[in-house]
A and B are shown apart, each in its own frame.
Chain A
């Protein structure tokens, strides 16, 4: 039988607490008028939550580098699609 090093339950629960705190933060910040800052905070918090899930729940923190590259490639290519099409959408008028 192979034994696998696994993170402690505590780690998983702490990450969950972090996720819920971030959820409350993003919800609360939405009611403070900050103009475009609201959207920026919302997105930053969404990214932070995703990173928590990816690194801890999806174990990318300890994963082989090829798996990290595969995960990064997905998001990176999405950034290409979004970024280069934005060169058009935000400068058209």
Chain B
């Protein structure tokens, strides 16, 4: 057993505290859905206005790296879910290993993503900094790539926060902070990680698969 569960003075018991934290996290996730959702609305409006440009531009993205990255992120979600399960069962070592695996896969995702950014830069596809695409719809293609960098950038920031969070969780798990009586931070961290994953699940077809035929 680890240290006793600390209940803040406003709560009656650990169960009330845990339920409050769970609900707080889900409400926070709802705000995240709206926050990130707004950029999907901006994407939708732009795509409706410029369907041809979006089709051309999407073919310029790196499908191989994007698809591999999707697999990496989905696997990281599996690792995260397994670490939450291990924590609940009190399997400390397994929980730490799965948390570290989650963080490593998250870092791998960012590494691949930034490789992609580098390749885009080499192909002169970075709006404002170096955008040299010519031909019809050049302006609208730049808008697509602005959205591409903006949306994947916002996603990467969220993922980076998630990686830091997972590493802190692993450290705390190593310090024996969690037990079957108290695992709320790991559980909530998992929820955040999965939401960031879901964002990518939608980004992938909208950015990479607009028109591949």
Contacts and interface: CB of A to CB of B under 8 A. Distances in A.
Contact between A and B in the complex (any CB pair below 8 Å): yes
Interface of A: 1-4, 6-7, 9, 12-13, 15-16, 19-20, 23, 26-27, 30-34, 38-39, 42-43, 45-46, 49-50, 53-54, 56-58, 63-64, 66-67, 70-71, 73-75, 77-78, 81-82, 85-86, 89-90
B109 to A, nearest CB: 14
A89 B44 contact: yes
25 contacts: A1-B1, A1-B181, A3-B180, A4-B180, A16-B74, A19-B74, A38-B212, A39-B210, A46-B204, A46-B205, A53-B194, A53-B197, A53-B198, A57-B78, A57-B190, A63-B22, A64-B19, A64-B22, A73-B30, A74-B29, A74-B32, A82-B40, A82-B44, A86-B48, A89-B49
B147 interface: no
Interface in B130-166: none
Contacts of A23: 67, 70-71, 74, 204
A39 B190 CA distance: 30
A26 B38 CA distance: 24
B33 A78 contact: yes
Nearest to A27: B67
Nearest to B58: A30
B84 to A, nearest CB: 8
B31 interface: yes
B88 interface: yes
A9 B79 CA distance: 11
A51 B41 CA distance: 20
A30 B212 contact: yes
A2 B77 contact: no
Given A57-B80, A70-B26, A46 B201 contact: yes
Contacts of B80: 57
B177 interface: no
Contact of B78 (A3, A13, A90): A13
A71 B19 CA distance: 15
Interface string B163-204: 000000000000000011100000000110011011001101
B6 to A, nearest CB: 16
Given A49-B201, A58-B191, A66-B23, A4 B88 contact: yes
Contact of B29 (A34, A49, A71): A71
